[in-house]
Chains A and B, each alone.
Chain A
Amino acid sequence: MKKITLMGCPNVGKSVVFSRLTGVNVISSNYPGTTVDFIKGTTFIGGEKFELIDVPGTYSLEPTSKAEAVAQTMLHEGDIVITVVDATHLERNLYLTLEILETKKPAVIALNLWDETRHLGIEIDVAKLERVLGVPIVPTCAICGTGIKELASAVGDAHPSKTLKQMSEEERWLKVGEIIQDVQVVHHRHHTMWERLADTTVRPTTGIPLAILVILLMFLFIIEVGNVLIYYLMDPLFYAYYGPLIVGAVNSFVSSGLLHDLLVGTSTIESLDFEQSLGLLTTGLYVPFGVVLPFVITFYFMLSILEDTGYLPRLAVLVDTGLHKLGLHGSAIVPTILGCGCNVPGALATRILETEKQRFIAMTLMAIAIPCMAQSAMIFAILGRYGMKWILIVYSTLLVLYISLGLLLKRIVKGESPELLLEVPPYRKPDPRTLLKKTWSKAYGFLAEAVPFVILGIFIVNLLSVSGMIDILSRIFSPILTTVLGLPEGAIVALILGILRKDIAIGMLLPLGMTPQQLTISCIILTTYFPCIAAFVVLFRELGSLAMLKAVGLMAVVSLSVGIIMRVIVIGI
């Protein structure tokens, strides 16, 4: 099977082209650096099967970040290259295009965002450009789908450039200038009112209050709409329909004993209990579907709006000065926000940062102080019943931790923290169907990951409790948990499960009958002490064993100290 790679500058629409050609929806967003790893799919062109590879965007074949390095290696992987070019920024895109064509790989060019050239007053002579570059060129609008068929059939005609020879960097820039002179006319246009208005979102005086408002509204939306979904949709579903059905079915099959307890736990038809019964079919499904999924949906819906409008790079500009104090720069806001959904894509997204120092700091801070949505959902659910105050205590503590650890790490981690250099794309109107599709694919991804792991977690708990291991472990760890942290010794179960998954781990706190103070401390410790297994694996791969060891050491020290400090503050000695 021949391989086709999709190469191009960041944010030119490669991932949308990939989704169009393969039918597989990959994430695309309106900011540079959405794709940070290669993604493979298959497509049929003229009856032949091809492997299509979506590649991170890069400005040139000399990488400046880890994501760009992936792009450079992937170019050599492919047999054919589809170079996706942003028609509204032809000049800038031509440098990379020339570099790619000079490798003499068979190539075709997609002149994407063609729909936007007209209102920007840009005219490109495609036939002439085709002659100069010596490969087929197809104008496309990946979003609307025009030109995609033509692009696919052009792949059949892909051939190495007949006109270009290897050039030095200087010659290449001259060539770019020459080509632009020849093929492009730009009619002068004034900034539109909208563009002027859009500036208010990056000017500090207006932008910072706006950013605070946006984040606050998002937070409220996620919690409130999430709660509405639980109250009016999930709880009725579980308590009125699913519960009686499943408990009845299990009872008619085995009415008591080990298997019965494993399946539905202590739940009976008369008193359904989805939170504490610890059955595979009760708590095991209620936690992912009934509690976490509603918040996952509201979170990713909001995130998709942020991503697709193009607000994230503007937020990056506004927080840049602050993040510099933590050894990072503005772009680090993207992995951080993604990490609020799930630390796994969050950690991967740190590949857009330039240096190892920045990536270590960003990943360590995320692993310690950024709870994923599954975890947040459980915190909302469990602490929310005692009032907003406790939720705020957890999140303020994590924020203080994030900042103070960042200040510290900036000083002790060796290496460079370069400045921000970021393209800020134009605002785009998000397409409602794309938003829903994106939200759905994230929710599906969450369920596919969460359901098996939560069920495994509950299985382990049952195993520990039936075998009597819980009592042994509780006794061993009771000095730290009870004496030092002021928690019930049973909290050890939550700490063990937290290595597997955080949502079910927090769920394990419920049967312990803790005070809100103890719950607050437990939630903070569960967030900070160790990442879940999925995040651990990715962090390990991204950081390497030595850096990971340091990060894990830091987590242990930090969570224990914060636990003690918070104990003193909220419970007293």
Chain B
Amino acid sequence: MVEKQLSDMKTGEKTNTDRGPVLLTTLLPGERAKIVALGAGSGRQRHFRTMGLKEGKIVEIRATQPARGPLVIDVEGTLIAIGRGMARQILIQKI
């Protein structure tokens, strides 16, 4: 189910008009969201989780860099800089 949504996102077939899960990259500065799923392989998932990017965590965008640069996100008090390609592997639900 989640994988399906993730692949839909990648092909851009589904827009994020409803309140369903969306990609982390669609979150705007100041908005808050909950992480619902992590895509990509198990190694990457582990890396995400050990840095605090785990399912159920609340995230907020603190800064975005221009020209497809990295995002700076706040995960329950920790700041993490993450490239956009990687951020696209994190599925969130806006709150």
Q: How many residues of A contact B (CB 8 A)?
A: 36
How far is it, in angstroms, between the C-alpha of A60 and the C-alpha of B48 when the chains are bound?
11
Q: Does A202 contact B (CB under 8 A)?
A: yes
- Which A residues between 219 and 263 are near B, CB-CB below 8 angstroms? none
- Determine whether the beta carbon of A96 is less than 8 Å from that of B81: no
From B51, B67, B70, A92 is in contact (CB under 8 Å) with B51
CB neighbours (8 Å) of B50 from chain A are 9, 59-60, 92, 95-96
CB neighbours (8 Å) of B15 from chain A are none
Q: Does B20 contact A (CB under 8 A)?
A: no
- Which B residues between 6 and 35 are near A, CB-CB below 8 angstroms? none
What's the nearest-Cβ distance from chain A to residue B88, in Å?
10
How far is it, in angstroms, between the C-alpha of A423 and the C-alpha of B67 when the chains are bound?
21
- Which B residues between 35 and 59 are near A, CB-CB below 8 angstroms? 42-43, 46-47, 49-52, 54
Given contacts A203-B63, A204-B66, contact A424 B47 (CB under 8 A): no
Query: What residue of chain B has the Cβ atom nearest to residue A93's Cβ?
Result: B50
Given contacts A321-B65, A330-B70, contact A60 B46 (CB under 8 A): yes
- Determine whether the beta carbon of B46 is less than 8 Å from that of A62: yes
CB neighbours (8 Å) of B65 from chain A are 204, 317-318, 320-321
From A9, A96, A199, A321, B66 is in contact (CB under 8 Å) with A321
How far is it, in angstroms, between the C-alpha of A425 and the C-alpha of B85 when the chains are bound?
22
- Determine whether the beta carbon of B63 is less than 8 Å from that of A421: no
- Determine whether the beta carbon of B84 is less than 8 Å from that of A424: no
CB neighbours (8 Å) of A424 from chain B are 72, 79-81
How far is it, in angstroms, between the C-alpha of A203 and the C-alpha of B62 when the chains are bound?
8
- Which A residues between 421 and 453 are near B, CB-CB below 8 angstroms? 421-426
- Determine whether the beta carbon of A207 is less than 8 Å from that of B63: yes
Interface string of A33-55 (1 = CB under 8 A from B): 00000000000000000000000
Q: Does B2 contact A (CB under 8 A)?
A: no
- Determine whether the beta carbon of A202 is less than 8 Å from that of B47: no
How far is it, in angstroms, between the C-alpha of A313 and the C-alpha of B84 when the chains are bound?
17
Q: Does B4 contact A (CB under 8 A)?
A: no
CB neighbours (8 Å) of A204 from chain B are 63-66, 69
What's the nearest-Cβ distance from chain A to residue B80, in Å?
6
Interface centre among B77, B81, B82 (most CB of A within 10 A): B81
Q: Does A173 contact B (CB under 8 A)?
A: yes
Given contacts A204-B66, A424-B72, contact A329 B46 (CB under 8 A): no
CB neighbours (8 Å) of A482 from chain B are none
What's the nearest-Cβ distance from chain A to residue B83, in Å?
3
- Determine whether the beta carbon of A202 is less than 8 Å from that of B46: no
- Determine whether the beta carbon of B81 is less than 8 Å from that of A420: yes
Given contacts A59-B50, A59-B51, contact A419 B70 (CB under 8 A): yes
Q: Does A120 contact B (CB under 8 A)?
A: yes
From A9, A92, A207, A420, B83 is in contact (CB under 8 Å) with A420
CB neighbours (8 Å) of A316 from chain B are 81
- Determine whether the beta carbon of A202 is less than 8 Å from that of B49: no
Interface string of A310-332 (1 = CB under 8 A from B): 00010011101100000001100
Interface centre among A9, A204, A207 (most CB of B within 10 A): A204
Query: What residue of chain A has the Cβ atom nearest to residue B45's Cβ?
Result: A169
Q: Does A118 contact B (CB under 8 A)?
A: no
Given contacts A169-B46, A321-B65, contact A420 B70 (CB under 8 A): yes
Interface centre among A60, A62, A420 (most CB of B within 10 A): A420
- Determine whether the beta carbon of A92 is less than 8 Å from that of B63: no
What's the nearest-Cβ distance from chain B to residue A108, in Å?
22
- Determine whether the beta carbon of A421 is less than 8 Å from that of B62: no
- Which A residues between 447 and 505 are near B, CB-CB below 8 angstroms? none
Interface centre among A120, A316, A330 (most CB of B within 10 A): A330
- Determine whether the beta carbon of B52 is less than 8 Å from that of A329: no
Q: Does A396 contact B (CB under 8 A)?
A: no
How far is it, in angstroms, between the C-alpha of A418 and the C-alpha of B40 when the chains are bound?
14
Complex A-B: 13 CB contacts under 8 Å = A60-B47, A62-B43, A92-B50, A92-B52, A199-B63, A317-B69, A320-B81, A321-B69, A420-B83, A423-B78, A424-B79, A424-B81, A426-B79
User: Residues of A at under 8 Å CB distance from B?
Assistant: 9, 59-60, 62, 64, 88-89, 91-92, 95-96, 120, 169, 173, 199, 202-204, 207, 313, 316-318, 320-321, 329-330, 418-426
10 further A-B contacts with Cβ under 8 Å, apart from A316-B81, A423-B81, are A59-B47, A59-B50, A64-B43, A120-B77, A199-B63, A202-B62, A313-B81, A320-B83, A330-B81, A418-B83
User: Residues of B at under 8 Å CB distance from A?
Assistant: 42-43, 46-47, 49-52, 54, 62-70, 72, 77-86
